[in-house]
């Protein structure tokens, strides 16, 4: 595999100020549960000025291994202009012979041209080796049977990489190799208490540090403009994102899709916080009235008579004794409010919910352990529109929220273990259920239960009005068990840091692809190495 020869020691992960999946956010979430830092801002990734403030607070409040780790992260967050080289190799394969490999080289840059100005950027060049038939449009198509083909990804897993769609290719022997670029950037103006940011990056919003129900790190990177105001009494978030629309099958790329979110997080007590936010997605027009900072987005939608898609959400997070944090998020598209108030749940609602507990142990062996439950009702994140869908909750054909399709739920147990210094061992267990909410209905296109199945018949009748809930009530339910072991180890090397990581997922599926009686056992392996200097 020729790319192995050029891939070692070149392209690495982005700055934590550009990557919401960076392990620094898991560390900060555990520190929040332990009381070393209070009320993390919901929008990630954070500018490095915010990361410095939060990590400094952890250093001041903690001792021992926690303080030592916080100091290590502080060293990774720059304070001076620098340009660094970095690199990576990633191999993924399964027992069925699917293979995906990538390696390359690039640079990470930090610049501080003036007080209150921060510029972050990374650029990389990749060489990709893949099984024939695997899609290089890594984010599309969104349906699992197509997305998974040849990519060696477990069910409902997405590749945490952003590659520019243009590519060159060359052949060596009977294999074809692809050259692709990756770019992320952010410019931040202001202080850690009040800042404006513009950039191209992945994003995450909510009280959870991964797999968010509002905006998830699983979605592809997008142009983003945000204003965050942090005070002891509240954190206000103003966010605008430029999205890519597709047709109703997840194909094509069309400009003119927009997202606006505004949220307020309020610390009621030092140990209890409440959050509320609202989101609107529209297109292809560019409507400035959605940019009013002191307005209500649903009111603006009704006032202008715009056929847009609005959602709202609520969160509650509590830090309990002994380092335990409880959190609940609810995100709603459509609902019969008065029925729900009367506890009548056999009614119309399109919503997602995530609730769970996290214990910040911070013992020499165990850093933390979490248990959480994720629920997505039928047709949540979908929306009816024309041939080009500007209103559903997708970007470039991928759900902006969780990777699970509508009419699914998932329970997960995950731990972060540190048996020796610089070694992270993350075991997890997930059980997932999914059903096709359109099962048994005729003239519903595409009728497959995906995020592009809005539940309307061809003549415009909403099937979910007849039997509103239909949450996992179908005769055939696909069930998936996943057991994952992930290891990473860091060592100083060649005036830099070398990180080795690898993992294995065992997967068993009942009623594969909603075919009754079909069962499958899958094994997935991956290995990676990263080097920065």
For the chain, give every domain's residue range. 3-532
pLDDT at 131: 62
509 versus 169: the higher-pLDDT residue is 509
On the question of pLDDT at 160 being above 50, the answer is yes
On the question of pLDDT at 6 being above 60, the answer is no
pLDDT at 121: 95
Quote the crossing angle between the two packed helices 48-61 and 23-34, to the nearest 10°.
Answer: 40
CB of 406 within 8 A of CB of 449? yes
pLDDT at 53: 97
**pLDDT tens readout for residues 51-68:** 999 999 999 999 998 999
pLDDT at 348: 63
User: CA 29, CA 16: separation in Å to the nearest integer?
Assistant: 14
CB of 160 within 8 A of CB of 182? no
Mean pLDDT of 24-33: 95
On the question of pLDDT at 268 being above 80, the answer is yes
List the single range of 204-208, 225-229, 339-343, 468-472 with lowest mean pLDDT: 339-343
CB of 403 within 8 A of CB of 157? yes
Q: What are phi and psi of 364, to 5 degrees?
A: -60, -25
Instruction: List b or e across 93-115, with b for residues whose CB sees 16 or more CB atoms inside 10 angstroms.
Output: bbeeebbbbbbbbbebbbbbeee
Q: Which long-range contacts (CB under 8 A, 24 or more apart) does 427-430 make?
A: 427/483, 427/484, 427/485, 427/486, 428/482, 428/483, 428/484, 428/486, 429/481, 429/482, 429/483, 429/484, 430/480, 430/481, 430/482, 430/484
On the question of pLDDT at 133 being above 60, the answer is no
- In the block, residue with structure tokens 């995100």: 331
pLDDT at 167: 61
- The correct answer on CATH 2.40.160.130 for the domain covering 3-532 is yes
pLDDT at 163: 79
On the question of pLDDT at 144 being above 50, the answer is no
pLDDT at 382: 92
CB of 118 within 8 A of CB of 48? yes
pLDDT at 288: 84
List the single range of 62-71, 198-207, 234-243 with lowest mean pLDDT: 62-71
CB of 199 within 8 A of CB of 18? yes
Percent of the chain whose predicted confidence (pLDDT) is above 90:
55
The mean pLDDT of the chain is 85
Name, of 175-184, 208-217, 354-363, the range with top average pLDDT.
354-363
On the question of pLDDT at 251 being above 70, the answer is yes
Among residues 179, 178, 196, the alpha carbon closest in space to that of 187 is found at 196
pLDDT at 335: 63
pLDDT at 498: 85
On the question of pLDDT at 88 being above 70, the answer is yes
User: CA 352, CA 521: separation in Å to the nearest integer?
Assistant: 29
On the question of pLDDT at 360 being above 80, the answer is yes
At 12, the pLDDT band (50, 70, 90 cuts) reads very low
212 versus 465: the higher-pLDDT residue is 212
pLDDT at 244: 93
**pLDDT tens readout for residues 497-512:** 788 999 999 999 999 9
Name, of 263-267, 417-421, 451-455, 487-491, the range with top average pLDDT.
263-267
């Amino acid at each position: 595999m020729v790319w192995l020869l050029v891939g070692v020691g070149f392209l690495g992960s982005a700055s934590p100020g550009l990557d919401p999946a960076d392990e620094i956010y898991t560390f900060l979430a555990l520190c929040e549960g332990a009381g070393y830092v209070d009320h993390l801002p919901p929008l990630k990734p954070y500018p490095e000025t915010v990361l410095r403030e939060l990590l400094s607070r952890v250093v001041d409040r903690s001792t021992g291994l926690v303080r030592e780790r916080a100091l290590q992260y502080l060293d990774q967050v720059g304070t001076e202009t620098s340009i660094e080289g970095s690199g990576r190799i990633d191999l993924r394969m399964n027992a069925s012979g699917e293979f995906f490999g990538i390696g390359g080289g690039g640079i990470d840059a930090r610049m501080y041209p003036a007080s209150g100005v921060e510029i972050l950027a990374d650029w990389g060049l990749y060489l990709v080796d893949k099984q024939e038939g695997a899609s290089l449009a890594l984010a599309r198509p969104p349906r699992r049977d197509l997305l998974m083909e040849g990519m060696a990804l477990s069910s409902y897993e997405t590749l945490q990489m952003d590659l520019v769609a243009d590519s060159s290719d060359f052949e060596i022997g009977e294999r074809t190799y692809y050259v692709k670029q990756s770019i992320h950037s952010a410019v931040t103006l202001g202080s850690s208490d009040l800042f404006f940011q513009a950039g191209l990056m992945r994003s995450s919003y909510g009280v959870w540090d991964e797999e968010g129900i509002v905006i998830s790190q699983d979605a592809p990177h997008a142009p983003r403009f945000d204003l965050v105001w942090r005070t002891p009494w509240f954190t206000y978030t103003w966010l605008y994102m430029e999205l890519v629309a597709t047709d109703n099958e997840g194909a094509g790329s069309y400009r003119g899709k927009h997202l606006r979110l505004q949220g307020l997080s309020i610390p009621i007590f030092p140990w209890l916080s409440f959050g509320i936010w609202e989101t609107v997605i529209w297109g292809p027009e560019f409507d400035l009235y959605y940019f009013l900072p002191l307005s209500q987005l649903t009111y603006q939608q009704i006032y202008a008579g715009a056929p847009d898609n609005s959602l709202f959400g609520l969160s509650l997070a509590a830090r309990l004794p002994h380092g335990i944090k409880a959190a609940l998020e609810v995100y709603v598209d459509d609902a019969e409010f008065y029925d729900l108030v009367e506890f009548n749940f056999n009614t119309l609602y399109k919503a997602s919910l995530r609730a769970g507990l996290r214990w910040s142990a911070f013992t020499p062996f165990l850093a933390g352990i979490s248990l959480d439950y994720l629920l997505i009702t039928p047709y949540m994140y979908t929306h009816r529109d024309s041939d080009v869908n500007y209103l559903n909750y997708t970007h470039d054909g991928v759900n902006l929220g969780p990777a699970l399709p509508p009419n699914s739920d998932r329970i997960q147990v995950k731990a972060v273990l540190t048996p020796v210094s610089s070694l992270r061992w993350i075991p997890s267990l997930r059980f997932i259920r999914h059903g096709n909410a359109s099962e048994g209905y005729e003239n519903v296109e595409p009728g497959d239960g995906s995020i592009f199945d809005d539940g309307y018949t061809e003549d415009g009748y909403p099937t979910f009005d007849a039997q509103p809930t239909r949450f996992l009530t179908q005769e055939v339910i696909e069930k998936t068990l996943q057991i994952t072991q992930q290891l990473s180890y860091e060592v100083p090397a060649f005036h830099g840091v070398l990180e080795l990581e690898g993992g294995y997922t065992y997967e068993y599926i009942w009623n594969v692809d909603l075919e009754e009686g079909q069962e499958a056992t899958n094994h997935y392996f991956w290995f990676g190495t990263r080097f920065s200097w």
